[in-house]
Amino acid sequence: MIIDTDIHPVPVHEQVAEYLAEPWRSRYLRGDRGAGHPNYFNPNGVMRGDALTEDGRRIERAPDTMARYFLDEYAIDYAIMNPAEAMEHCVSPDAHYSAAALSAVNEHFVQDWLPADPRYLASITIAFSNIELAVKEIHRLGEHPRVVQVLMASGSPFPLGHSYFHPIYAAAADHDLPVAIHPGLEGVGIAGSGGTAGMVANYLEWHTLLATSYMTQLVSLVVEGVFELFPSLRFVLVEGGVAWLPALMWRLDKNWKALRSTTPWLTRKPSEIIQEHIRLTTQPIEEPEDKRHFHQTLEMFAAERMLMFSSDYPHWDGDTPDFAMRQLAPELREAVMYRNALDVFNLEARANGS
């Protein structure tokens, strides 16, 4: 069995517009992507150049081609759709337009993709500018049996442990949905810089430093007590890397021992909280020249519970299932390729209708 926790279908504007009322519909059709438009340039683009059908159509733009050329090709049983190409609305300051646009994107995938193939699973993508509208969207779709997570940008106006975001976590917990964050908007719109020292110069710097954004968000979530307030909540760090986690846990545990009086709500080691509530996806998996170093890294945290396969298809740096599986020790393969995702997204219960 294979469960892919991160694929990127691209919403077709004309189809999304069918779920928008005026005046938002006309703006969307004219290509208005809001004030959260990405501003770091990749000279090669972010999509694989070979993700094409025989007649030259982009594979990721239709459910039938994505199923035939990717899901079938790699025998994928479930794939969670994360519409990264629409996530600029997550960090737009234009609150009402961005909420309407993302609601229409969500509806497009629920109405036009989920019925096309039972292997597709959907996300509720939300914007940060108006938390009430974000919560309303979670409640609108939260009970759909094939909607499996709330999706947010990893770039945010302030760290995600802040109480501003707590209504999102409460709504997600109400529907037993994990919350996932995905990169791509650091330093854009209302989001803070991906580099903690400030704005970086180019895409190479920005892409390399995405892990620092995830470190910031993880420490904030744990230290500000999100998982004490919402003890059933799971948080998925999508596409943020893996190798940085052990060192961060060591440092956080050490500092907590000396400074626990500043956070009296934390009654156990931060590393214990992280390994209970946090999950990571494999792509972009680290690839040291000596594979022993990678295996040693996975032994430094509970990878057998925390790590889930993701392809990132069809992005340029994605990993196919066969490639990812070869990187893993045999005893980790089943857990990473499907068992952990079955648990986090409650897929067995969803399949049984319970």
Residues 296-317 pLDDT 10s: 999 999 999 999 999 999 987 8
pLDDT at position 37 is: 66
Q: What percent of the chain has pLDDT over 70?
A: 97
Residues 157-190 pLDDT 10s: 999 999 999 999 999 999 999 999 999 888 888 9
pLDDT at 74 over 90: yes
Separation of first and last alpha carbons in the chain: 21
**Which of 174, 203, 271 has the alpha carbon at shortest distance from 45?**
203
Q: How far is CA 65 from CA 10, 12, 52, 174, 309, in A?
A: 12, 14, 9, 35, 22
Average pLDDT over residues 41-46: 80
Domain holding 257: CATH number?
Answer: 3.20.20.140
Mean of all residue pLDDT scores within the chain: 93
Instruction: Please indicate whether residue 63 or residue 40 has the higher confidence score (pLDDT).
Output: 63
Q: Are 67 and 117 in contact (CB under 8 A)?
A: yes
pLDDT band at 353 (very low <50, low <70, confident <90, very high): low
Average pLDDT over residues 98-120: 98
pLDDT at position 46 is: 80
Exposure on the CB side of residue 219, measured as CA atoms within 13 A: 19
Q: Are 236 and 179 in contact (CB under 8 A)?
A: yes
pLDDT at position 221 is: 99
pLDDT at position 56 is: 84
List the domain range (segments joined by +) for residue 92.
3-351
pTM over 0.85: yes
pLDDT band at 233 (very low <50, low <70, confident <90, very high): very high
- Structural domains of the chain, count: 1
Residue with tokens 């946090």: 278
